Structure 1
Amino acid sequence: MHVRNRTERLRGWERRLEMPLLIASPLFLACYAVRVLDHGRDPLLGDIAAIALLTIWALFAVDYAVRLVLSGQGAHFVTSQWLDTVVLILPLLRPVRIVNTYVTLQRRHDRPRLSLYGRVMAYAGITAFLLSIATSLAVYQQERGAPGATIRTYGDSVWWACSAITTVGYGDVTPVTPLGRVFAVFLMICGLALLGAVTGSFSSWLVQVFRREDEAGGGGPPPDGKRPPGN
């Protein structure tokens, strides 16, 4: 009974926080973008964005702490919910959790409108877009003004992020700072994983479509190769 009550309380907490966290995640990315792109031009705007970032991160931390306590798993919660742990340490990755939160909400309130393969491709695309935006901001923050940097504008950083996550890698602009290269490695690994997920899902969808067409067409000639009478 005690375990069931704890589980119900955990689910209730997650339901109450789903929508606020869904809104807070892109808002965190937007505030970080203001901090990076403003570059000290408007101190008041930068201070407001900094306060908003700290407030939103505090919301993430409170949510993580409450779920840790309600789960009753102790230290095991840190490893079992490894994505939440990483996102808490690196809150810039929080927008990636938008996909998981949206899936949970859609399953709870309605049936998914896309097929399994469609959902995989759509969610992989959204994740790739959010990762590209977040990483381009982080890399630009590290690279601007660095000696020998080729990423001098945010446009350069976006161009680099697009080429990195698609595994093209033109090499015309590349990070030169140590932290910038760490972000680059992370984005390239994520790009490979997402590209593999999209390619695999698309191939499976094509196989499913062709199989349905074959079944609808009768599956070809009879096994013995003979035609029906009259043909």
Structure 2
Amino acid sequence: METPLAVASVLYLAGYAVRVLAHGMDQIWLDLCLAVTLSAWSVFIVDYAVRVRLSGLKPLRFVRAHLLGTVVLILPLLRPLQMVKIYEQIQRRRDQPRLTLYARVMAYSSLTVALLGFAGALAVLQHERGAPDATIRTFGDSLWWAAETLTTVGYGDVTPVTPTGRVIAVGMMACGVALLGAVTGSFSSWLIQTFTREDEKGPPGNSPGAP
């Protein structure tokens, strides 16, 4: 199911993006994008139901054991994040060379931040652009806001004013702190490990057996 799930993730994000960014197009095309989005979502629902059935676990126990998959299923905003896990499974199945642990954490966290920022920008734009006194009215505004929120900078020049937009903001702030912390923490650990190895080697003239 790796390939169908990856395709479904791309189709979900593409259909949702077109509906938000091209909201002025003919209704028939908007309905088509909605159908693509819902069809892609149904693929994940079927996959989740099959995995619950084959696991032999009770539903509540399966939910606790696969919390990320459950969250991704319930919250369409996080649907693209499934591609990160799918990519890892494909790499293992095809016996492709794998990156070191630190590099993998940084790469996957960066990919997750990019996907989450794009999806969050779309969701906020959808709910904010028609609201009274809204400061987020274009996709550029929402991308700028997403970058501010994920990095927890928060200049305050553009902010959500609707309840839904603020809920999305809270989720993105929490995810931003965790994901960026994983990137910086992994990079710091890699630097410490590298410098430790260099110190253990010592100067060339102090190596064992040197005259």
Q: Scaled by the length of structure 1, what TM-score is found?
A: 0.85
Q: Measure how far apart 1:19 and its partner are.
A: 0.9
Name the Cα RMSD after superposition.
Answer: 2.0
Structure 2 counterparts to residues 191-206 of structure 1, below 5 A:
191-206=176-191
**Match among 59, 68, 74 for residue 52 of structure 2:** 68
Pairing 1:44–2:28 present: yes
- What secondary structure, in the 3-state scheme, does the structure 1 residue paired with 2:131 have? coil
Separation in 2, partners of 1:138, 1:229 = 64
1:26 corresponds in structure 2 to 10
Classify 1:170/1:216 alpha carbon distance in 2 versus 1 (closer, same or farther; 3 Å): same
Amino acid at match of 1:34: V
Work out the percentage of aligned pairs sharing the same amino acid. 61
1:123 corresponds in structure 2 to 108
2:192 corresponds in structure 1 to 207
Q: Measure how far apart 1:74 and its partner are.
A: 1.7
Structure 2 counterparts to residues 107-146 of structure 1, below 5 A:
107-146=92-131
Amino acid at match of 1:42: D
- What secondary structure, in the 3-state scheme, does the structure 1 residue paired with 2:99 have? coil
Is this contact kept in 2: 1:22–1:98, CA < 8 A?
Answer: yes
Is this contact kept in 2: 1:214–1:220, CA < 8 A?
Answer: no
Aligned length: 209
**Match among 86, 90, 99 for residue 105 of structure 1:** 90
Q: Measure how far apart 1:215 and its partner are.
A: 2.4
- Which ranges of structure 1 fall in alignment gaps of 5 or more residues? 1-16, 223-227
Is this contact kept in 1: 2:8–2:41, CA < 8 A?
Answer: no
Amino acid at match of 1:20: P
- What secondary structure, in the 3-state scheme, does the structure 2 residue paired with 1:110 have? coil
Classify 1:218/1:145 alpha carbon distance in 2 versus 1 (closer, same or farther; 3 Å): same
Pairing 1:35–2:19 present: yes
Is this contact kept in 2: 1:167–1:191, CA < 8 A?
Answer: yes
Q: Measure how far apart 1:180 and its partner are.
A: 0.2
Classify 1:73/1:215 alpha carbon distance in 2 versus 1 (closer, same or farther; 3 Å): same
Q: Which has the larger radius of gyration?
A: 1
Q: Measure how far apart 1:155 and its partner are.
A: 0.8
Separation in 2, partners of 1:106, 1:48 = 33
**Match among 152, 157, 162 for residue 172 of structure 1:** 157
Q: Measure how far apart 1:204 and its partner are.
A: 0.5
Separation in 2, partners of 1:162, 1:116 = 26
Pairing 1:157–2:142 present: yes
2:201 corresponds in structure 1 to 216
Amino acid at match of 1:115: T
Amino acid at match of 2:132: P
Further displaced range: 51-60 or 111-120: 111-120
Separation in 2, partners of 1:42, 1:29 = 20
Separation in 2, partners of 1:146, 1:220 = 70
Q: Measure how far apart 1:80 and its partner are.
A: 1.5
Separation in 2, partners of 1:93, 1:62 = 17
Is this contact kept in 1: 2:19–2:30, CA < 8 A?
Answer: yes
- Which ranges of structure 2 fall in alignment gaps of 5 or more residues? none
Q: Measure how far apart 1:221 and its partner are.
A: 6.8
